[in-house]
Amino acid sequence: MKIRELYEKGLAILEKSDVPDSSIDTKYIIEYITGISTTRQMLEADRDVDEDTCSKYFETIDKRATRYPLQYITGEQEFMGLIFKVNEHVLIPRQDTEILVARALEVCENKRVLDMCTGSGCIAISIASLGKPEKVSAVDISPEAIEVAKNNAKINNVSDKIIFILSDLFDKVEKEEDDGRFDVIISNPPYIAHDTVATLMPEVRDYEPNLALEADNEGLFFYEKIIKESPDYLKKEGMLMFEIGYEQGKAVADMMTNAGFTQVQVVKDYAGLDRVVCGKLF
Ligand code: GLN
């Protein structure tokens, strides 16, 4: 079969399953299976592909047609210009989260940074790789996620800059008695309300880890806990910064203000939606 036919047949299968951006995903799957880059596929449309490769291709297309995420198929996602390996144990890094990282990069120089709920490690590793923090600690409750994050740190050459801590939120994070340890605590915790989960895309709802998505109390559970406990782990004038769901800006900002944070700000993403809340410990 020729590349052109792989494309046409694959596209038809993905479109039938309502896969968003079917055309792009078809091209990425061709690239993944044949090694011919998306940009060269047009030029090589008449190139013949052997039978074995064709059957591997259609198996992969069928898998994607179940709405299994492309990134779990290819095993990677780009974030902040870096490559992250992903599997079903971690949330796939989102472009939305780059806003949070960009903010953190503005304030992290020579600072001690803690990334709470690190998942794939995308936040901690981007800060360690693109910024000049003194040290980064990355926490997650899932041993499988910590494995993924450690591997990502290795791939991105920042293993020596990050301490990984397997911990249920702050449980295993040490705190110094006097002035706290961290200058910046950053987190993209699970924040989807239980009732909302059913409305998510099948890719997210059926395949991304529930543990990384859902939270009690209308999705606010982890913000509440982290806001309550972080003053014990932050230095004076330390910063706390979160990614939030677009309807959670006011609730999270109010919680931070009530907990003694000042200069609490809600920052919008490129789509104009509330996406980040940050504040300074008084
Ligand atoms: N910190 C990771 C990310 O931003 C994981 C977030 C999560 O699991 N809720 O992708």
Q: How many domains is the chain partitioned into structurally?
A: 2
Q: Ligand 1 in contact with 189 (CB < 6 A)?
A: yes
Residues 127 and 195 in one domain: yes
Task: Tell me whether strands 182-187 and 234-243 are parallel, antiparallel or unpaired.
Answer: parallel
Residue 179 is predicted with a pLDDT of 60
Residues 52 and 116 in one domain: no
Which residue reads 């120089």 in tokens? Answer: 109
Q: Ligand 1 in contact with 119 (CB < 6 A)?
A: yes
Residue 19 CA, ligand 1 centroid: distance in Å: 24
- Domain-ending residue, one of 66, 99, 119: 66
Residues 162 and 182 in one domain: yes
Residue 184 CA, ligand 1 centroid: distance in Å: 17
30-54 b/e with 16+ CB inside 10 Å = b?
bbbbbebeeeebeeeeeeebeeebb
Q: Ligand 1 in contact with 117 (CB < 6 A)?
A: yes
Which residue reads 């993403």 in tokens? Answer: 269
Residues 48 and 115 in one domain: no
Q: Which domain does 7 fall in, by range?
A: 3-66
Chunked into runs of 10 residues, the chain (282 residues) has average pLDDT values of 97 98 98 96 95 98 98 98 98 96 96 97 98 96 98 98 97 75 96 95 96 96 97 93 97 97 95 96 88
| pTM: predicted TM-score of the whole model, two decimal places | 0.95
Q: Let me know if residue 105 belongs to a domain.
A: yes
Distance between CA atoms of residues 75 and 87, nearest Å: 6
Q: Ligand 1 in contact with 91 (CB < 6 A)?
A: yes
Residue 274 CA, ligand 1 centroid: distance in Å: 17
Residue 141 CA, ligand 1 centroid: distance in Å: 12
Residue 156 is predicted with a pLDDT of 98
Distance between CA atoms of residues 13 and 32, nearest Å: 17
Residue 282 is predicted with a pLDDT of 84
Q: Ligand 1 in contact with 190 (CB < 6 A)?
A: yes
Residues 109 and 26 in one domain: no
User: CA angle 40-98-183, nearest 5°?
Assistant: 145
Residue 174 is predicted with a pLDDT of 86
Q: Which residues contact 55 (CB under 8 A, 6 or more apart)?
A: none
